[in-house]
Structure 1
């Protein structure tokens, strides 16, 4: 009987554990925020997703399917509280390029799309199974700051034509910027007025009524104005017609896998990169940690599950996530609200939402994308570490000039090069003693009063000493030896966590050479691992306890005893 009870309890526990944590702990106080944020995000993401579908050469309703299904699936399995998952500009472009490259005359475009999206999902799931999420750890905080700023600039520039009522063939950031300048004389004054009014209305509501759902009010005002005042008579463009209805189930054709997998791999990498970057960029400290492998699983499931309904490959969208966060989203419930509104749009609200002026949508996106650009963060990084400031600027410039994926790759490469430079060129400090204390610190212009000792040179290397930087250590030490010609060289190894064999061998050879030149080498501050490495070598036998000390203070004290004695 007890066994049955335990089994029942365990079974119930497993059922409970299958429920996402945010659902089981959901607070009713969050509901009003999630309803508002989900509604606002829907107003942004629905038209954009339809536009992205056309970018990929697909019917506009495909964009709606790519909002509805991936968003629901990610909300159930993802880590982020606010990440809005659908398609993005880059994913749409990559999808369109892959679809156009496939020669399948006997197959419909939908069959190819379903197979492609399914493959993308399978690749993400495989990456999760192989625990490849560590790749995202190469994206540092400065890189994220630069990434967000670059994306902010790209988004704003992308929306300006809608604000001006102009059209041109889109290209690179520079191409678009030049084209905007060239087409300004052809701008629609009525569209500009609507856009500017909407921007000021948004800013005013945010400033004077911060608790009001400003974007939702602006969207409603835009739709109402279009209907009441017939603004379309003045050349103001609308979002346009949205077809009604739910999608049919589509089946893949795995015979296409051989042709599609290289493109699917690139799309999967783009999906993962954008998802992690957006998820981390908008995460708050009190929210759950973004686990990369779990994100791979969630986005993989989102792509696999939505593929059968004709959705495009999906991933975390930066601009819509920014709107979701700033609009006050507290949990994935906001994404479920967005998905619910998408469903209503597909069935009931398509004609109404289609009345929205493009300038209104552009105003909402621009106002909330400006928040992605934080000059203050760049100043803080510059004040702390110039190297990481370069990382941030590199990410910004690369995203703007090369696009999101290439921009992140460039930023990661710059980060790795900078990290390699730090490893290969480690710090080496000449130490002096603070007067009246036992504190030894690097000599500097700020502390000219620090004590030094005739005939004694104290050097403190920092970082792991191994084959890549051992020779550089030697080159850095040589000038100090030439200038001082010390009787004793104390190497403070308190900042060295590890000593690799190549570096040990070079140290042994350096000790022999210096001994022949009249300089005795002493070691201090060795941790247990480094001490064991030295003791197992001929250097340990040669130095003995007489020339290895617990810390620099004891070594200097011994030196003074010998000198004064």
Structure 2
């Protein structure tokens, strides 16, 4: 089946739907239906809660869990992926809308949201046409950890006033912290009770009954408490009227494009990153891996279509996908079931949802958003590499202190700086031979008995050698030559997959410099690509076949042979 899919993918347009429908087994039907309904119980409360994070009416969350979900089931390549919105996308959407329609009314927000979501969809589709699926790996894992941790802090701080019944004028991070602390004496006791009770229910269910639809149960308890006790009388605010029925057509406003497109690029990047990560995380044996460029098409079409029907930016979600898979989803039919439940909710349950306390929604957001901040991952990064731990902290601070949209730029910039740092300073190892074997390994205090060969310096650089790092590699090699005074320097190039022109020029100059001092340069283990580069350059003619070897064993044998011939030149031995 995978071969068939790849053939269609390579030769023209193809619906992944045709694959899973063609392979569908009757035994999958029941678990798919159960998984779809269970996932809906998790998706819908969270989608509505995330809509409020974005500053939008709760029904926007329902629309987001409907249209993009259906589109992805038709075009997506991941079997269990569940698509709606996420905490990250919600807070980024809030920041974007706050820039173009600050304090806007419902109509203005709807138009701006449609424009933003359509832009996100078009950017994803354009990325697919340009085959930019590799961008999924553009932000390093430590930086993404820091970015999501910062998002968690921002969201929790944003939702805490709703949890305790305060109205706070939003500003910078420190302003929001100060306003929250100042307003604590004026908190609504009844609202605090509702919020704390919701958090308790969620945490208890997640701990003792992890497979239960905890968000749905918590939301149902909140609605029931309002209906039974009339909590509005005690100062508990509720969602209020929600229109029953299908979403209305919303047309974007071209005049907002200029102000929204930078944010849309960042949101599209995060949508795709979360989608492909969630899809890859839950692949089972025998299933096709999600194809990045096809995922761009699916999420792009989902956002573009959803934009016209009231949706906010959407993407795959890890939590809801995990629920989908753990309950037993085998195919995208589970997503279609989730979408059907969403449709039923829009048509029948809107009046009940209107009774939901804002504190309940805030509690749902806080409980599931705080999971984005994972101290264990920070500790794991620190244990392995301190530098990348600092990058994670920089990304976190960028989101918290500079805002979420600027935080994306900080995250990307930090990733690029990290990449530049890594490639600019590749390792160069001095090698010795494990006694009695043909194994050559880096010099280490762990291996004091390894053989060294006075007069022969064996070195192994690693990675691509190009204009960024060629000078640094040279600065590492020179002290080794000065310390050991060899007659031959053999560079083991097996771990070098590319030799760029600037680096080749520098190597050529170094070869001449040391040849004039009586030190000969040998090259060992060239890959076919690097060998072709050397052969086509003056260095290849200078070295000839006499100073280029297939492996270190050949080079060592040639050097030992030259030592047994008094007066023999090391350049004449092969």
TM-score norm. by structure 1 comes to 0.83
Structure 1 counterpart SS, 2:486? coil
CA distance in 2, matches of 1:158, 1:112: 21
Q: Partner of 2:45 in structure 1? A: 43
Q: Partner of 2:357 in structure 1? A: 357
Kindly indicate whether the alpha-carbon contact (under 8 Å) linking 2:249 and 2:308 is maintained by their aligned counterparts in 1. Answer: yes
Distance 1:332 1:92, change over 3 A: farther
Q: Partner of 2:274 in structure 1? A: 278
* Structure 2 unaligned residues grouped into runs of 5+: 1-7, 566-574
Distance 1:95 1:204, change over 3 A: closer
Q: Partner of 1:559 in structure 2? A: 559
CA distance in 1, matches of 2:459, 2:525: 12
CA distance in 1, matches of 2:434, 2:172: 57
Structure 2 counterpart SS, 1:19? helix
Which string of whole-angstrom CA distances, capped at 9 and with x for unpartnered residues, describes residues 425-448 of structure 1? 221111122223222111123333
Distance 1:475 1:315, change over 3 A: same
2:91 to 89, 98, 117: 89
Q: Partner of 2:522 in structure 1? A: 522
Cα deviation for residue 479 of structure 1 reads 1.4
Cα deviation for residue 93 of structure 1 reads 4.0
Kindly indicate whether the alpha-carbon contact (under 8 Å) linking 1:323 and 1:365 is maintained by their aligned counterparts in 2. Answer: no
CA distance in 2, matches of 1:176, 1:138: 32
Cα deviation for residue 249 of structure 1 reads 4.0
CA distance in 2, matches of 1:99, 1:440: 65
Which string of whole-angstrom CA distances, capped at 9 and with x for unpartnered residues, describes residues 44-87 of structure 1? 22254266454xxxx77666545543443334333451232487
Structure 1 counterpart SS, 2:490? strand
Distance 1:535 1:405, change over 3 A: same
* More off after superposition, 122-131 vs 404-413: 122-131
* More off after superposition, 16-25 vs 119-128: 16-25
Q: Partner of 2:313 in structure 1? A: 314
Cα deviation for residue 16 of structure 1 reads 10
CA distance in 2, matches of 1:462, 1:478: 16
* More off after superposition, 216-225 vs 555-564: 555-564
CA distance in 2, matches of 1:99, 1:163: 25
Which string of whole-angstrom CA distances, capped at 9 and with x for unpartnered residues, describes residues 88-132 of structure 1? 232244245435799xxxx98877776665555444433433334
Which string of whole-angstrom CA distances, capped at 9 and with x for unpartnered residues, describes residues 153-199 of structure 1? 33333332222222202234443333322222222233223322332
TM-score norm. by structure 2 comes to 0.82
Q: Partner of 2:100 in structure 1? A: 98
Q: Partner of 1:78 in structure 2? A: 76
Structure 2 counterpart SS, 1:88? helix
Kindly indicate whether the alpha-carbon contact (under 8 Å) linking 1:117 and 1:307 is maintained by their aligned counterparts in 2. Answer: yes
CA distance in 1, matches of 2:372, 2:21: 29
Q: Partner of 1:389 in structure 2? A: 389
Distance 1:144 1:291, change over 3 A: farther
Q: Partner of 2:487 in structure 1? A: 487
- Are 2:27 and 1:30 equivalent residues in the alignment? no
CA distance in 2, matches of 1:389, 1:505: 36
Distance 1:346 1:541, change over 3 A: closer
1:444-463 aligned at under 5 Å gives the runs 444-463=444-463
Structure 1 counterpart SS, 2:83? coil
CA distance in 2, matches of 1:446, 1:114: 63
Distance 1:108 1:178, change over 3 A: closer
Structure 2 counterpart SS, 1:431? strand
Kindly indicate whether the alpha-carbon contact (under 8 Å) linking 2:150 and 2:400 is maintained by their aligned counterparts in 1. Answer: yes
Distance 1:151 1:290, change over 3 A: farther
Kindly indicate whether the alpha-carbon contact (under 8 Å) linking 1:381 and 1:388 is maintained by their aligned counterparts in 2. Answer: yes
CA distance in 2, matches of 1:374, 1:111: 36
CA distance in 2, matches of 1:559, 1:454: 11
CA distance in 1, matches of 2:21, 2:369: 29
Distance 1:535 1:306, change over 3 A: closer
1:121-132 aligned at under 5 Å gives the runs 121-132=121-132
Kindly indicate whether the alpha-carbon contact (under 8 Å) linking 2:144 and 2:411 is maintained by their aligned counterparts in 1. Answer: no
Kindly indicate whether the alpha-carbon contact (under 8 Å) linking 2:431 and 2:441 is maintained by their aligned counterparts in 1. Answer: yes
Which string of whole-angstrom CA distances, capped at 9 and with x for unpartnered residues, describes residues 469-517 of structure 1? 3232222222122222222222222222232333233222222221221
* More off after superposition, 535-544 vs 465-474: 535-544
* More off after superposition, 109-118 vs 337-346: 109-118
CA distance in 2, matches of 1:121, 1:529: 40
Q: Partner of 1:408 in structure 2? A: 408
Distance 1:51 1:470, change over 3 A: closer
Distance 1:195 1:530, change over 3 A: same
Distance 1:188 1:53, change over 3 A: closer
Which string of whole-angstrom CA distances, capped at 9 and with x for unpartnered residues, describes residues 296-350 of structure 1? 32333234334444x25522276xx535645757465565455445444444322
Alignment length, in residue pairs?
Answer: 538
Structure 1 counterpart SS, 2:452? coil
CA distance in 1, matches of 2:480, 2:408: 41
Structure 2 counterpart SS, 1:371? helix
2:257 to 256, 261, 272: 261
CA distance in 2, matches of 1:158, 1:136: 28
Distance 1:438 1:428, change over 3 A: same
Q: Partner of 2:188 in structure 1? A: 188
1:491-502 aligned at under 5 Å gives the runs 491-502=491-502
CA distance in 1, matches of 2:464, 2:526: 13
